[in-house]
Structure formats: C-alpha cells, structure tokens
Amino acid sequence: MLLLTAWSRRVFSWVPVPPARLAAGTPAGLLPPTVWWLVADAWVVSFVALAFGRYYRTAQVIAALGIVPDLVWLLQGGFTRAFHGPSLGPWAFWVLLNLAPVLAMTAFHRDTPPDARWPWLLALVTAYLLVAVPLTALQTSGHSAWVPDTAGLFCVLTALACLAHVPRAWSRQAAGSGVWSLTLTLLAAQAGAYRVLSLTDYLHDPHQVQVSLAELLILVLAVALIVPDAIRAQAAVHAPPRPRQGYPR
C-alpha cells in the first residue's frame, strides 16, 4: 500500500506512470494520501512491536488505530459503495483482515511467555521479498491478470503454508507441530470465509467465480492434510490431567 500510494502520487518521478488498475486501487476520498501511508507503516510497526514481546500494549494501540481509516472509508461512501449490489467484499475485508487480527492481539498480555523474535522478523522480510516484490513486478509489467485478488492470494498463501507444514504435522515427534497445525487451520478458516464472502463481487463474472472456487478448493485440500494434527492438539489441551500413580508400600 505504501509503495502503490507513493507511486500513484508520482513520488517516484523517474519511473513510468503506474498502470490504471494500480492507480485506481489507491483509496481516495475524504482522507488524504498521507493517512494511507501511515496505515501501511502502522501494521509493520505493530508487527515488529509484537515480535519483540515487550510492547504488547503499544502494538495493540497502533493496530487499533490503523484499522480506523478503512472503516472511515467504508462509511464515507455509505452503504452505496460498500454494498453496490449484493457485494459483501469490502466489509468482509475489514472484519476479517482488519478487525479480527486486532481482536486476536488481546491474547497477548504481560504474562504471555516471550517467543523467539528473530524468526518472526525474518518472516516479515521474507514475505515482502517473496510475495510483495514479485506481485508488484507482475503488475507493473502489464501482467496484472496473472495476479489473484486479495482473497485469492490469501487462500493460495495459506494453502502453501499448510503444505509446507505437512511433514511436521505427520511426524508425531515434531515438537510444537500441533500448535502450528491449529493456527494454520484457523487461518485457513478465515481465508476461506473471506473467499466465500467476496464471491458476491463477481456474480457478473462466471470465469472469476470459477477461479475463486478453484482457489477455495486448493485451500480446503491443503488444510485437510493438517486438520487431524490440529484436532489432536486441541484434544490434548482439554484432556484432563493424568492421575499420578503411586506405588503401594
């Protein structure tokens, strides 16, 4: 968002004019472009603060403030823009990809055991290098039709994460695999819900509906491979503690 906003505003005078599709994707209206720059930075700052483990409250406040502009954008156009026809996509995006992560942050508090920070920080950089950069390159090269929409990208990336986790999920000796399986299953449920709700944006485009259903099918097949491990992890959490066996004297 930060790169596309700056590009559409011709901050980079030495690069060609961005394609119309990219320029149209920049939110406009009552809020100035600077707000969207800050929103793009806010999510990164919130993630980094959460990864360091000592700034949970700061991360929660920044993330909560970061989702307000999107809500203002939705309400600014009234329900006319957000619910043009039967579309639920814009509101599904805000609820599932903005509000839900902020609510999930409430699980982090002072007593939360600290986690290894560098794998998460490395994951942030890797995501930009392996996802954001290639997608932007495809869009700028004129092959934007090859790039899935947000819901489709969410499904594909989650499916790849599930497939990458399959060896650990099927290995009973892998430590912590159940927690990751449960996490990826919940993430897949969120991605699937967003894909289904966003289908209302394409009721006039049968081809896009077929592509969306294919993305949803790929996600379902991938997450099905790790669901048994997630179920075992959930059952282990709720299992009553085993009684200690004593020896008769």
> Rounded to whole angstroms, how far apart are CA atoms 3 and 131?
14
Distance CA 210, CA 215 (A): 9
Residue 29's region, left for phi above 0, alpha for psi from -120 to 50, else beta, is left
- Give the separation between CA 181 and CA 187, rounded to whole angstroms: 10
- Rounded to whole angstroms, the Cα distance separating 168 from 151 reads 27
CB 155 within 8 A of CB 219: yes
Tell me the average confidence (pLDDT) per consecutive run of 10 residues in the chain, 249 residues long: 57 55 55 78 90 87 93 72 60 91 87 78 87 80 78 95 93 79 94 93 90 96 95 72 53
Are 229 and 170 spatial neighbours (Cβ–Cβ below 8 Å)?
yes
pLDDT at 131: 87
Q: In the numeric block, which tokens belong to residue 22?
A: 């990219």
Amino acid 176: pLDDT = 77
pLDDT value at residue 91: 86
